[in-house]
């Protein structure tokens, strides 16, 4: 399928553990509940205790999207060690092949309205022999969505990520801040405004810290998205405004 005909995003983060999976799954849930066929892929997941099964990230994405794709299409590389993917792959004498990932993504994308791909770690995390997550993003051809934490330090990490994306000519749709507490401190109150004025792309949502199991958190974030005042910007940035109005 030609890149221009495919709708979707590649979700990266400013670091590992910043909320990429929750944002990806929350968005998948939100869109699926509105009738869109959402394809999901976690091309490389490291730290998978039992690689015969889906890891926690891919499993949550599959649940959120209600996907019936095979495990190998949703999660082409499942690696045991909770390390940088290239290192985890080396420990198993494996090499991550971008063409295999591209085939899996293409095969899913042809069957769905919107594709959500979650990277591993941040944009510069190494995947294979000097190739980084950013190189995979370029090969797959989907625009980037950057998930960032809310605490002090996030301005620097987020701007470094968007700057690196721009330098590598990777189109970035925007930033989502994830985990805003009910009572944000001064740094957290300032972060969305600072990023909105300094980054070369918009802040498309500021999502709250939510409670419960991982699935409950995803459901809460999907509901938050539905009532978010910035939802129109988010949908427009994802090129989904018209598509969603076609559905109930």
Ligand X SMILES: C[C@H](N)[C@@H](CCCCCC(=O)O)NC(=O)O
Report what 46 binds from ligand ATP, Mg ion, ligand X, none; CB cut-off 5-8 Å by kind.
ligand X
Residue 120 lies near ligand X (rule: CB under 6 A): yes
Residue 121 lies near ligand X (rule: CB under 6 A): yes
118 marked as part of a ligand binding site: yes
Cβ proximity to ligand X: between 66 and 82 the closer is 82
Contact region for ligand ATP (CB under 6 A) — 28-36, 198-206, 209-217, 240-248?
209-217
Interacting residue with ligand X among 34, 71, 84, 107 (CB under 6 A): 84
Residue 46 lies near ligand X (rule: CB under 6 A): yes
Beta bridge partners of 41: 117
Instruction: Determine whether 42 is an active site residue.
Output: yes
Rounded Cα–Cα distance for residues 27 and 59 (Å): 15
- Within 4-43, the residues that bind ligand ATP by CB under 6 A are 13, 16-22
Cα 49 versus chain centre, distance = 22
Among 203, 207, 157, CA closest to 179? 207
- Within 107-166, the residues that bind Mg ion by CB under 5 A are none
Q: Provide CB contacts within 8 A for 216, sequence distance 6+.
A: 210
104 marked as part of a ligand binding site: no
Among the residues of 17-170, which ranges form H helices?
20-33, 56-65, 71-74, 85-91, 98-109, 133-140, 154-167
| CA-atom Rg of the chain in angstroms | 17
Q: Are 45 and 29 within 8 A, CB to CB?
A: no
Task: Give residues in contact with ligand ATP (CB under 6 A).
Answer: 13, 16-22, 57, 120-121, 178-179, 207, 209-210, 214, 217
Binding site for ligand X (CB under 6 A): 16, 45-47, 57, 82, 84, 120-122, 125
- Residues classed as catalytic: 42
């Amino acid at each position: 399928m030609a890149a221009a005909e495919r709708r979707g995003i590649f979700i990266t983060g400013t670091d590992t553990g910043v909320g990429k999976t929750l944002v990806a799954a929350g968005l998948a849930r939100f869109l699926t509940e509105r009738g869109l066929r959402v394809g999901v892929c976690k091309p490389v997941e490291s730290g998978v205790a039992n690689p015969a099964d889906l890891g926690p990230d891919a499993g949550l994405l599959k649940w959120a999207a209600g996907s019936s794709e095979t495990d190998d299409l949703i999660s082409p590389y499942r690696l045991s060690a909770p390390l940088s993917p290239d290192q985890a792959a080396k420990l198993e004498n494996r090499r991550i092949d971008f063409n295999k990932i591209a085939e899996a993504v293409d095969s899913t994308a042809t069957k769905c309205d919107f594709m959500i791909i979650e990277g591993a770690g941040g944009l510069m995390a190494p995947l294979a022999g000097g190739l980084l997550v950013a190189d995979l993003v370029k090969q797959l051809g989907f625009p980037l969505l950057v998930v960032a934490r809310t605490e002090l330090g996030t301005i620097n990490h987020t701007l470094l990520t968007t700057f690196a994306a721009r330098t590598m000519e990777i189109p970035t749709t925007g930033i989502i801040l994830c985990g805003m507490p009910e009572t944000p401190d001064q740094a957290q109150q300032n972060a969305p405004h600072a990023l909105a004025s300094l980054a070369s792309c918009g802040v498309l949502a500021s999502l709250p810290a939510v409670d419960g199991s991982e699935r409950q958190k995803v459901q809460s974030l999907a509901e938050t998205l539905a009532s978010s005042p910035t939802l129109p910007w988010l949908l427009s940035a994802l090129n989904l405004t018209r598509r969603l109005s076609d559905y109930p």
